[in-house]
Structure 1
C-alpha cells in the first residue's frame, strides 16, 4: 500500500490519507482557532451575523472570502503546542508513504479558512490557475510538499482548493524542451525548501511557474477550455467526470475535499486555484509545508 500511495502521488500530484489525526486533537485545535478568531475579529462560527460585520474583512472576490491577518493566530496556535501531536501524526504518515526522514515540516502553518461567498452554484473555476514551484529538469520531486489538514468535513460546495492532477508531469515534460538556465533569483526565492539541492544554481534548467499555464494552453485545447467560462453542468462534466490524457499523462480536475482528521498531500508544481464557497458554513482547513531532506 505504501508503494501504491507513492506511485499514485507521483502520477497525480495529489494523495489523500484518511483518518490520520485523532478527532479529539482536531477538535482541540479547532476550538483554539475559533477562540482566537473571535478575540481578534469578533467572529463567532455559530453566529453567521458576525461573519461579515466588518466590511473590510474577510476579503476576496465573489468566490473566495478569506480572513486577512491570520498569520499571527497561526503562529500563536503553533506556539501553544496544540499542533504538536497533529504534526507528529502527519510526519508518521509522510514517513510511511515516502520513507523515513525524507521530508520534514517547516515551522509555519497557514490558515485556509474561507467563508461563504455570494455565488449560488459551485462551478469548476476558470480563473487564477497557477503553480507554486517551477519544474526542474532532471528532478522528478518537488522542493516541498503542501499538506492540507481538515479540521471539519469539507464538501465540494464549501469551496475547496481545486487541482489539475497530473499537471506537474505535463510541466516536467515541457521543461525538458523549453526549460532555461540562469534562474538564480527564482531558485534563491525558495531557499527555505531547496537549499543544498544544487551545486551550481545558475546551471539548473527549469521552467518557471508563470510560464506553465500559457504553454499548456498552446499545446492542449483542454487547458484552453479550462480558463474559459461555462455552465456548471458543462464544466463539471468536462473537467471532473471525464477522463482526459495527452502524451500518456492523465489529467483531470480534483477538488481537495475530506473529513475531519484527513490530510491531503499536494505537489505544488500542479496547477491549482481557489473555488467558490457556496455553502452556508466556513471551510476549515489548515496547511503545513514540508521540505525535502538531503
Structure 2
C-alpha cells in the first residue's frame, strides 16, 4: 500500500491522504484564523457584507479573491504552537509514504484563504498556468513538496487549486531536450530547499519554470486547448473526465478538494493555477512546504 501511494505520487504529482489531522485541531486553528481576520480586517465569516467592505484588502481577479496581510497572521499562528500537532501529523504521514527523514518541514506556513469572485459558473481555468520549481535533468524528485491542509470542506466550486497531473513528468522530458546548465542564479533562488543537493551548481542541467508551458502548447493539442476559453461543460469533459496521454504520460486536470482534516501532497513542478470561487462561501486552506533531505 505504501509503495503504491509513492508510485501514484511519482506518476501524477498529486497524492491525497484522508483524515490525517484531528478535526478538533482543525476547528481550533480555523477559529483562531477567523478571529484574527475579524480583528485585523473587520471581516466576519457570517457577514458577507463585510468581506469586501475595504477594497484595499482583497486581492485577486474576477475568479477568486484573497487577502493581503495574511503573512503576519500565519507567523503569529506558527509562533503560538497551535500548528505543532498538525505539523507532527503531516510529518508522520509523509514518513509512512516516502520513508522516515526523507522530507522535513520549513518554518513558514501559507494561508490560501479564498473569497468568492464575480463569476457564477465554475470552469476549468484557462489562465495563469505555471509551475513553482524547475526540473533537473537526471533527478526524478522535486526539491520540495507542497502540502495543502484543508480546514474547510472544499469542493471544486470553492476556488480549488487545479493541477495538471503528470505534467511534472512532461517537464522532465522537456528538460532533457531544452534544459541548460549554469543556472546558478535560479538554483540559488531555491537555496532554502535545494541546499546541499549539488556538488557543483554549474554542472546542473535544468529547465526553468517559465519554459515549460510554451513547448507543451507547441507539441500537444491538448495543452493548446487548455489555455483557450471554452464552455464549462466541454472543458470539464475534455480536461477533467477524459484527460490525455502523450509519450506514455497520462495527464488530467485535477481539482485539489477535500474535507477538513485531509491533506494533499503536491509536486510543485506540476502546472497548476487557481480557479473561480463561485460557491458564495470563503474557504480556508493552508500550505506547508517540505524540504528534501540529502
Matched residue, 1:283: 283
Q: Deviations over 1:36-63 (max 9, x none)?
A: 1111000111111110111122111100
Q: Residues 158 and 283 of structure 2 are in contact (CA less than 8 Å); yes or no, is this contact kept in structure 1? A: yes
Matched residue, 1:145: 145
Query: How much does 1:26 deviate?
Result: 0.2
Q: Indicate the SS of the match to 1:59.
A: strand
Matched residue, 1:87: 87
Matched residue, 1:221: 221
Give the root-mean-square deviation of aligned CA atoms. 0.5
Query: Are 2:202 and 1:202 aligned?
Result: yes
Judge which range, 84-93 or 173-182, deviates more: 173-182
Query: How much does 1:92 deviate?
Result: 0.3
Structure 1 runs of 4+ with >4 Å offset: none
Q: After TM superposition, list the pairs within 5 Å mapping 1:1-294 onto structure 2.
A: 1-294=1-294
User: Structure 2 length as normaliser, TM-score?
Assistant: 0.99
Q: In structure 1, what is the Cα distance between the partners aligned to 2:263 and 2:254? A: 15
Q: In structure 1, what is the Cα distance between the partners aligned to 2:248 and 2:283? A: 35
Query: How much does 1:163 deviate?
Result: 0.2
Query: How much does 1:19 deviate?
Result: 0.2
Q: In structure 2, what is the Cα distance between the partners aligned to 1:280 and 1:178? A: 43
Q: How many residues align?
A: 294
Give unpaired runs (5+ residues) of structure 1.
none
Q: In structure 1, what is the Cα distance between the partners aligned to 2:100 and 2:167? A: 27
Query: How much does 1:243 deviate?
Result: 3.2
Q: Indicate the SS of the match to 1:237.
A: helix
Q: In structure 2, what is the Cα distance between the partners aligned to 1:64 and 1:146? A: 21
Q: Indicate the SS of the match to 1:4.
A: helix
Q: In structure 1, what is the Cα distance between the partners aligned to 2:28 and 2:165? A: 32
Q: Indicate the SS of the match to 2:58.
A: coil
Q: In structure 1, what is the Cα distance between the partners aligned to 2:243 and 2:51? A: 39
Q: In structure 1, what is the Cα distance between the partners aligned to 2:286 and 2:39? A: 19
User: Structure 1 length as normaliser, TM-score?
Assistant: 0.99
Q: In structure 2, what is the Cα distance between the partners aligned to 1:101 and 1:240? A: 34
Q: Deviations over 1:98-139 (max 9, x none)?
A: 000000000000000010111000000000000000010000
Query: How much does 1:150 deviate?
Result: 0.1
Query: How much does 1:187 deviate?
Result: 0.2
